[in-house]
Amino acid sequence: MSFDRSLKIAPSILAADFAAFGAECRAVEDQGADWIHVDVMDGHFVPNLTFGPAMCAALRPHIRTVMDVHLMIAPVDPYIEAFAKAGADIITAHVEAGPHIHRTLQAIRGAGAKAGLALNPGTGIEAVPHLLDMVDLICVMTVNPGFGGQSFIASQVAKVRALREMIGDRPIHLQIDGGVTPETAPLVAEAGADVLVAGSAVFRGGSVSDPAPYGANMRAIRDAVAG
Ligand code: DX5
Ligand code: ZN
């Protein structure tokens, strides 16, 4: 199948009901989500804690699309095998998480998952050309990682544009994570992003028993991008 660079929305379950993750994944997929974004935090690399591989394994049967696991942890390498075994389709690690991102990306692919590389807002793109052959996705953080519901950092749009040019025809997704709303999505889509992670902007106003707002929220983002 040819590489799909069309716009995709990846709801972040960080904004879902933590007591109902399985049902939340099913509900948001029924409402049109393209991928499910799973935020793993360790209280050390970022100032917040979520969950680990056991939760990902429990979620796996509830996800029909793509399980996109964003690791905000350091170190990363000791846990790659466990997240791959848990069924992650994509495992994204931060360039800031350790001194050996090249080895980390090798290990992710070696474990059978697609490899993602995330860049914090304060990180430049100098390392990326040296890693382009090893990544399936580049994630530009448009908030400082750790919490949902933060404001989009507009200075990152230029970074997205530069990365899009660097990627060229390579089969690499360009993902945006943080503060994506109908107002900010067009800025990053125009700059070349194809995967938009959105937590609060997707889950707001809805619930497992009333999931229609999830669909309306995702349509609002797609419509804003389509202009
Ligand atoms: C931030 C996480 C994001 C976050 C996005 O640390 O990586 O995935 O949940 O949430 P919103 O869309 O609310 O900014
Ligand atoms: Zn994330």
**Is the pTM here over 0.85, yes or no?**
yes
156 vs 162: CA distance, rounded Å: 10
- Distance from the alpha carbon of residue 198 to the mean position of ligand 1, in angstroms: 6
Q: Is the CB of 11 under 6 A from ligand 1?
A: no
Q: Is the CB of 199 under 6 A from ligand 1?
A: yes
One-letter amino acid of 117 = L
Rounded to an integer, the average pLDDT of 122-126 is 98
Atom number of ligand 1 nearest to Cα 178: 14
For residue 42, the cross-strand partners are 49
Q: Band the pLDDT of 174: cuts 50, 70, 90.
A: very high
Contact 114, 89 (CB under 8 A): yes
Q: For residue 190, how many other CB atoms are within 10 A of its CB?
A: 13
For the stretch 66-109, pLDDT in tens is 999 999 999 999 999 999 999 999 999 999 999 999 999 999 99
Per-residue DSSP letters for 30-92?
A: HTT-S-EEEEEEBSSSSS-B---HHHHHHHGGG-SS-EEEEEE-SS-GGGHHHHHHTT-SEEE
Atom number of ligand 1 nearest to Cα 180: 12
For the stretch 13-28, pLDDT in tens is 999 999 999 999 999 9
Ligand 1 atom 7: residue of nearest CA: 145
Q: Is the CB of 144 under 6 A from ligand 1?
A: no
Retrieve residue 138's tokens.
């580049």
Going by their DSSP bridges, the two strands 195-198 and 173-177 should be labelled as parallel
Q: Is the CB of 198 under 6 A from ligand 1?
A: yes
- Distance from the alpha carbon of residue 13 to the mean position of ligand 2, in angstroms: 9
Atom number of ligand 1 nearest to Cα 152: 14
The pLDDT of residue 109: 98
- 116 annotated among ligand-binding-site residues: no
The ligand minimizing its distance to the Cα of 146 is 1
What would you measure as the largest C-alpha separation in the chain, in angstroms? 47
**Three-class HEC string of 148-176:** CCCCCCCCHHHHHHHHHHHHCCCCCEEEE
Q: Is the CB of 48 under 6 A from ligand 1?
A: no
Q: Is the CB of 177 under 6 A from ligand 1?
A: yes
- 51 annotated among ligand-binding-site residues: no
Asked if residue 207 has pLDDT above 80, the reply is yes
One-letter amino acid of 116 = G
Q: Band the pLDDT of 1: cuts 50, 70, 90.
A: low
The pLDDT of residue 2: 82
Catalytically active residues are: 39, 177
- Cβ-count burial of 111 within 10 angstroms (0-12 exposed, 13-18 middle, 19+ buried)? middle
Using DSSP's 3-state secondary structure scheme, residue 98 falls into: coil
Supply the DSSP symbol for 147. Answer: -
Ligand 1 atom 10: residue of nearest CA: 148
Enumerate the domain spans of the chain. Answer: 8-226
Q: Compute CA distances 196 → 31, 81, 93, 102, 181, whole Å.
A: 16, 26, 17, 25, 9
193 vs 38: CA distance, rounded Å: 19
Q: Which CATH number is 8-226 given?
A: 3.20.20.70
Contact 98, 145 (CB under 8 A): no
pLDDT > 90 fraction of the chain, expressed in percent and rounded: 99
